Amino acid sequence: MRCAGKSSSMAALTTARPAVALLAAALALLLAAWVFGNPPGAAPDERAHYVRALGAGSLELEGAIFKPTREQTEAFFEQRDGPELPGAGVATVLWAGMQTRTFELPAELSVFGFGCNDQKPTESAACVERPTGDSSTRLPTYTGTYPPWSYIVPGRVMRFESTPNAALRAGRLTSALICLVLLIAAVALTAAGRAPGVALAALGVAATPMVVYCASVLNASGPEIAGSLCFLAAGFRLQRPGAGPLAWAALAAGGAALALSRSLGPVLLLTLGGTLLVLAGRPRRPQGPALAAGAVLAVAFAAAAWWDLAKSPHGVEGGPTYRRALAQTFHDLDDIARHAVGNFGALDTPLPSWLYVAWAAASLALLGLAAVRGAARERAGLALCLVVAGCITVAVSVFQLRTGYGAQGRHVLPVLVLPLLYAGEVLRRHPAGLAWLPAAAAVLWATSQAVAWLTNARRGAVGTDGSWWFFGAAEWSPPGGWWPWTVMALAGAALALAAGLIRRDPV
């Protein structure tokens, strides 16, 4: 029996290695295509993250308190068109004011056109090449109290550039490289063990186009989501035989990225870490790598919690009541789910409706298969994951609504991936008759990533009213033109498709 088990594991590893290599290359190509093919500043709050990162790049972590003039306050208030909940508009202004700080940056990087066509989806990004305003050595940002840790390295690299567009792309690229390492680690850890194709299919459904998009833009959500995927993949790998020190290192790296990226990080680290411990059952006696990983996670948690308690604003004044916010949350859950699959730009570039339907169907099919095939304890574990994901989603949405802002899919993606990854672990143990699953997931993932990139490219090149064949009529083009990045994005999608088709799991 031992020899048969060892033979099966070796066969699975042989199958997994080419798939891991193909998926790593696919992710690298897709991230590069997104970094350069997405107009500078054309991501949620990216111009605010730009200023925050430049400040952190010079180790100015806290910034200076910003007191807007009456005209600036009125202008900010007017940007909110018809808040859905009573008090939301007032709460938005107050909350943004509590978070706004000014940071020092080079004067040549202070004048830019980022976000000039936000909420104008029919307009191309041509205006981004026509920056307006006066140069300055300090600028305000409403992300001023965000944890600085994920901004430091990208911000330092950005300061070597001499133009805002180049600086933003340098920051994107640096953050994307960090996310790429975490995502490849998640792929490699998931591929280790029996039936790697089935488990990788679940990871693919969890890694929506929004996951790849967030990993390619300058923001804190990308490292947070990639960190969560790496942390969870490592945690599940440690529950299977044969895990070594590298799995513990990945657990520490992913958990640290998760904890340090955004204010919710410490809570997510405790919640997801606790869930992993419950799913694992009786803990093993900790060894050297486990103790080292625990020490790293403890330091990351302490740094993140300290910043959140000492430097971040707390309490919301003038916002909707908890009751109204909770009611609105259940009304908004479909929007949150769609945004978790993909909605780009300033949330003004949605994907085709059929793609949302396909992704929802794939997610429900995976969860349903795991529920049907799993043993009683595995079904209980799946229920636990769903409860954890649901409770965190509702809590985040209620808090966001009380500040006047609605929750977005990227805010809760770090926990939404949990049930799908666990479903993959359940199906790994019961893979009979699922040889078709890796290919089906690869078709969905590759098609969706290609469509997502092209949808956003069209938006930047000619606007949503323009032709899908925009190559000869683009009003805005990335460095080198559209063709190199289009080929790169399609090549990345093709490699991912090949990874799902190369060979069936030996079961």
pLDDT tens-digit readout, 343-378: 999 899 999 999 999 999 999 999 999 999 999 999
Which range marks the domain in which residue 63 is found?
46-169
Average pLDDT for 433-455: 96
Q: Is the pLDDT of residue 79 over 70?
A: no
Do 307 and 427 fall within a single domain? yes
Cα–Cα separations (whole angstroms), residue 203 to 26, 230, 274:
14, 11, 21
Do 161 and 192 fall within a single domain? no
Do 145 and 189 fall within a single domain? no
Do 327 and 382 fall within a single domain? yes
Q: Is the pLDDT of residue 158 over 70?
A: yes
Average pLDDT for 90-110: 85
Of 149, 169, 189, the domain-final residue: 169
Burial (CB count <10 Å: 0-12, 13-18, 19+), residue 208: buried
Top pLDDT among 322 and 77 is at 322
DSSP code for 144 = T
What pTM does this model have? 0.93
Do 412 and 428 fall within a single domain? yes
Q: Is residue 419 part of a domain?
A: yes
Average pLDDT for 451-470: 96
Do 117 and 254 fall within a single domain? no
Of 121, 154, 169, the domain-final residue: 169
Do 469 and 352 fall within a single domain? yes
Of 141, 169, 197, the domain-final residue: 169
Top pLDDT among 502 and 361 is at 361
Q: Give the pLDDT score at 490.
A: 98
Do 493 and 373 fall within a single domain? yes
Average pLDDT for 3-28: 69
Question: In this predicted model, what pLDDT tens digit does every residue of 291-307 receive, in sequence order?
Answer: 999 999 999 999 999 99
Do 117 and 25 fall within a single domain? no
High-pLDDT (> 70) share of the chain, %: 90
Band (pLDDT 50/70/90 cuts) for residue 76 is: low
Cβ atoms 242, 131 nearer than 8 A: no
Q: Give the pLDDT score at 502.
A: 83
Q: How many domains does the chain have?
A: 2
Do 123 and 161 fall within a single domain? yes
Do 163 and 180 fall within a single domain? no
DSSP code for 128 = G
In whole angstroms, what is the distance from residue 202 CA to residue 362 CA?
9
Residue 364 has φ and ψ, to the nearest 5°, of -65, -35
DSSP code for 343 = E
Do 30 and 142 fall within a single domain? no
